[in-house]
Each structure stands twice: as structure tokens, then as C-alpha cells.
Amino acid sequence: MASPSNPTLMANAIRALAMDAVQQGNSGHPGAPMGMADIAVALWGRHLKHNPGNPQWPDRDRFVLSNGHGSMLIYALLHLSGYDLPMSELRNFRQLHSKTPGHPEVGITPGVETTTGPLGQGLVNAVGMALAEKLLAREFNRPGHDVVDHRTYVFLGDGCLMEGISHEGCALAAAWKLDKLIALYDDNGISIDGQVAPWFVDDTPKRFEAYGWNVIADVDGHDTDAVDAAIRQAQQGTGRPTLICCKTNIGHGSPNRAGTAKAHGEPLGADEIKLTRTALGWPHEPFVIPEDAYTQWDAKAAGGAAEEAWNDRFAAYRAEHPELAAEYLRRMRGELPPTWAQTALDAAAAAHAKAETVATRKASQLALETFTKVLPELLGGSADLTGSNLTNTSSTPPLRFDERGAPNDGRHVNYGVREFGMAAIMNGITLHGGYLPYGGTFLTFSDYSRNAIRMAALMKQRVIHVFTHDSIGLGEDGPTHQSVEHAASLRLIPGLDVWRPCDTAETSVAWACAIESVSRPSALLLSRQNLPYAPKARLDDIARGAYVLAEPSEVGLKKKAQAIIIATGSEVQHALHAQQLLAVQGIAVRVVSMPSTTVFDRQSEAYKAGVLPKGLPRIAVEAGVTAGWWKYGCAAVIGIDTYGESAPGGVLFKHFHVTAENVAATVAKVLGG
């Protein structure tokens, strides 16, 4: 890209829009956009490969603003360079239903690649994007045809580096030799509480050198040419990701606020904005940008030409490799192959026919064995628990990189003990496109991952979390590892589908639903211990989240149900046994298996009433906290509202009275009044 003729004008346009929009909205963070404006000119004006006319062009560079509180920086860049973000939206900064929300949100603003704000996660999303690019290039590029060839750039601040997730993600970026990942660090020394020196004592360049990054230190962040030169150096292909440390002055240009915490998170104020305009030599009224600035920022022609050149290269690629080209486009669109639906049906039917007694973590691996064969986009992994989570299959060998950084054909990522980093990297992978990531750990460690899971739900991204060892059933490891509140807690996250299947068929269906769930992440909660297969007449309704598993007639009673037992996961076996015990007493009950409360809650009122008809007492049983079950109008809930104990799983179920006998006694008591 040609060097801008007036970088100062371009940078000051960003500063003016940032301070005007924050002042207009009476809320926001002007300091970072004003301090990083010259860095933005260097990257967006001279290097970034993007097309404002088509924000979803597959081979565009990815840009992430990890310090998302500085959202007016990216909004100004998108507006100035020609995206569909008119000035009216900048005037509407942080207002209801605007395209300029307080923090950047993917799917709301054209050109925003990921939702940022929780610090550090954007940086680690960028690691996932860079990994996806590298693996897609390995899979699809052919000699003379580099159809996957782009970089990932990320802006970050002190707060991103203070967050522990930055350690998890950046260590992996170095291990994976992601040399197309370039991070530009806004080293302004200021956070909300003031000068960071008393509490941020890291030597950041040495920290990243220790990871194995290429570090370019002490760059003047207000010298566009210096930043430009650092980016060019980073692009030379060192075999390592690059951190460019840019010294900046927060709120640059503001006579009285620059370099202080007052510039960070509040409007400058009308008087200070007037002084800043004078100091910058910016005579224009609020939200007025001179035509010369628009002309220099305009990226539409260059972006269109870059995409057109790629289209020509892709056409040549498609002529020589038509099947690969079709597969690449399918994958980038996030579509499943035409054979998928039948594969999913066949897998569930096979599980039903075999009726195996296995742990649902093993049932998960059995389903994955089938699905990873037919879906090359499935990219698995585990946070150092592969042998326990059983996330690997014969189609997903371990991912490894040679000394030059070239990946093998592996499709299973060893994330190490980095649950949070794994979750945020998976978000970046799915945001990039081309892969459907899944990753495993113990359910109790979902707390480490939780904010990244929430972000996936907020962004409506298809990510699959495999959480094994889901209850006291794991046994001797004790209460530190035994989940009691986690299933209920995950179900509270809007937009997250939580599955707790009871056997191989339900697990297969849960996996199929998660794979098909294009706008929701999913969490699969799986047992360590073996579970018996639950006989069932049909499989069709499992995907609806809950279904009638057994009527009274199936235990020899020819009368209507007097009560309903609702159960999930490992407790379904207790519900079925309780049904038999009650039948001996002449008490007729219906057993409902509810592998996914979140999916069931979205069904039609007619379907829900068919499964849980009014007038019948409902008794729920799950080896976890009882709080989430009362919404179903239960007369009683059998669960665990304390922490677990260290003992064999079978002993613990009896100790906590999660047994068929207690379920039967509770039903009898409810009916007895």
C-alpha cells in the first residue's frame, strides 16, 4: 500500500472523532484512540489488507482491538476507510441499537472481527485466528496457489498483558510459531487507577522474548514511519510471532489530560476539547472531517483491487483443484456436507442398536470417531486431559510443528493446562472460519473458561466444550474436582446449549446438535463412570432437549401416570429403577429424560406440555444443586446442595441419597400428600 501523504492529518481525524463521540455520548474512553492514532495510521494506512466493500472477504487480514474499551479507534478507522458505518452511527456512540456499542461487537459493526472488552481475550482470539490461517494454508494451499495467505494484527494495552490469559495464549502462539501474528502494544503506562508502575512491574519485552516471540522494543508510537518500519520488519518471516512495543502518550494532543488517568475512561469535557482542537491545529466542528482526510483514508479502491486479484488467483486454483476449492468455500461458509444429516442419523441408530454400557465420555469419543472422519473441519483438543476427556480419535492425530514452523496433519491440539486460553483460542478459530473447534477439560474447571464461554455465546459462535467428570460420580478426587453447581451455572449463560446425556444414543445426538448449532456454543457434560444404556422406543425427540423415555406400561402398569420423574445424565438410571420400584407398589410414573434443559426450554408450548402435562406432580433428580429445577413446577427435587466428599462414586451416591430408593420414596411421599 502507498504511504499516506499526510499521516498527521489522518491521525488527527481519529483523535477528533474519538473525543467528539465520547463527549456526545457522555461516556467512553478517548485516551487510547488518541494515543494509538499514529500506530493506526501506520497499520491501516500502509499495511492492512482489507476491503471495506466486502468485510467478509476470506483472505483479508484479521484485525483485533484487544483493548476494546478504545472502541472509538476502530469505529473511526472503519468509518474513515469506507465501511458501511456512516457518521450518524458515530454520533450515536454507545446508544441503544447503534452500530457503535460501548465495546466492539462482531455481527453488529461491519469490519469488527471479534467482540472485545474483557481484557486479554481479544489478544488470545487473535492467536486462534492466526492458528486457523496457518492450518488452512497447510490444508488447502498447493504449489503456485497460495489462496490462504493473510496476517493477523492485534492492538493491545497494559490491561491485556496484566490478565493471566495473555500468558496462556502468548506462550502457545510461540509454541506454534505463528509468524503471521503481529501484536502492537500500546505502552502508555496508564490504567484506570493511574500510573501502572507500582503494580505492573513486568519487563514486557523480556517476557515475550522468553516465550520465543520476536520483540521489537522502544518504538515511538507517535512516529508513523517508525511504526511502519517495525511492521515491515515483523513481516519478514522470522518463524515467530512479533510483539511491537510502542511508547505512547494516552490522550495525545490534549493539553491537560494527556498522560493522565483522566484521559482513560471519561469525556475530555467541552473546554478541554476546544483546547485540544487548537493544540492539534484542527479547526473543524465536531464530527466534521475534511475531504482531504477522507481521500487519504479511503481504502475502497485498494481493497476492491486486492480482493479482485485474489478472486483471479482463486479462479486459477479452482480450475486446477476444483474439489479442494469447493471444500474450502464450504468450510469458510460454515456449511456441513450434504452427507452430514444421514451420518448423524446413522451414528445415533448405531449407538441405539449396540446399547453399550460405557461412560458418556467414552460415548462421546465413539461419536467423535464417526464425525471426525466425515468432518475435516472438526479441530479437537484438550487442556492436558486427553486421556481423560477422550477428545482424540483415529482421524485427529496430535498437532505438531517442525523447526521451520510448518504444521503436520494433526487435528488434536494439546493446549496444556490452559483452560481459559483454550476457550478463547477456540473462539478465535471459529471466528476466523474454516474450522469447528472443540476442547476438553473437567467440568469443575469450566470456571476457568467461563468468561470465554460467555463471550462465545454473546458472539453467537459455534464452539463445543467437552466437560467430563461431571459429578460426584468421579469419586475419589473429592470435592475440588466434583462438580455440583457447574451444570446449573452453565445453564444460566444465555445462548449456551448445555447437554448432559445419559447414554451413547443421547451423547451421539448431543454431538450432532452441537455441530449443527451454527449460532450457539455448546457444552457437553459427560460422566467418568460407566452408565447403562437406557432403552427407548425412538430417537427422534432427543434433539428437542427432553422426551418421554418410559411410560408406566413399560414396567407392566396399565394405567395413566400419576407423577413424572425428570432426570439427566447419570441419574436417568436411578429414575428408571425408581419407576420399577414404584410399579411394585402400584404407583404409575412417567420418566422423562432431559439431556438439555436449554434446548427443551425453546420448544413449542404444545411439545413441552406433551412431555410435562399439567396436573401431574414432577420430581426432578440430578446429582447437583437443586436451584435450577424448581422452574419446572417440581413438587420435589433430589440433588446435592453441598460440596462432595472423597470416596468411591458408588459410595457417594448413597451418601448423598441420590439413589433409586430415595427417588421412589420421594415420589411416594409427594403422592401421599
**Taking a C-beta distance cutoff of 8 angstroms, is the pair 22, 30 a contact?**
yes
Nine-digit cell string for 440: 476438553
Number of residues assigned to the chain: 673
At 58 the three-state DSSP class reads: coil
∠ CA 478-483-484, rounded to 5°: 110
Nine-digit cell string for 344: 448423524
- In the set 163, 419, 506, 622, the catalytic residue is 419
Q: What pLDDT sits at residue 4?
A: 60
Q: What pLDDT sits at residue 237?
A: 83
Integer Cα distance of 636 and 634 in angstroms? 5
**Taking a C-beta distance cutoff of 8 angstroms, is the pair 652, 472 a contact?**
yes
Residue 2 confidence (pLDDT) above 70: no
Q: How confident is the model at residue 65 (pLDDT cuts 50, 70, 90)?
A: very high
Integer Cα distance of 522 and 80 in angstroms? 38
Using alpha carbons, select from 76, 77, 172 the residue that is nearest to residue 126. Answer: 172
Q: What is the pLDDT of residues 84-107, one digit of tens each?
A: 999 999 999 999 999 999 999 999
Q: What is the pLDDT of residues 272-300, one digit of tens each?
A: 999 999 999 999 999 999 999 999 999 99
CB neighbours of 665 closer than 8 A, spacing ≥ 6? Answer: none
Q: How confident is the model at residue 253 (pLDDT cuts 50, 70, 90)?
A: very high
Q: What pLDDT sits at residue 238?
A: 85
Integer Cα distance of 17 and 11 in angstroms? 10
Q: What is the pLDDT of residues 477-535, one digit of tens each?
A: 999 999 999 999 999 999 999 999 999 999 999 999 999 999 999 999 999 999 999 99
Residue 3 confidence (pLDDT) above 70: no
Q: How confident is the model at residue 328 (pLDDT cuts 50, 70, 90)?
A: very high
Integer Cα distance of 293 and 81 in angstroms? 10
**Taking a C-beta distance cutoff of 8 angstroms, is the pair 93, 23 a contact?**
no
Average pLDDT, the chain: 98
Mean pLDDT of 641-659: 98
The residue to which cell 515475550 is assigned: 208
Q: How confident is the model at residue 372 (pLDDT cuts 50, 70, 90)?
A: very high
Q: For residue 5, give Cα distances in angstroms to 292, 296, 298, 303, 525.
A: 10, 8, 13, 18, 57
∠ CA 479-485-486, rounded to 5°: 100
Q: Active-site residue 419, yes or no?
A: yes
Other beta carbons within 10 angstroms of residue 75's beta carbon come to 29
- Can you give the pTM of this predicted structure? 0.98
Q: What pLDDT sits at residue 1?
A: 55
Integer Cα distance of 525 and 486 in angstroms? 10
CB neighbours of 88 closer than 8 A, spacing ≥ 6? Answer: none
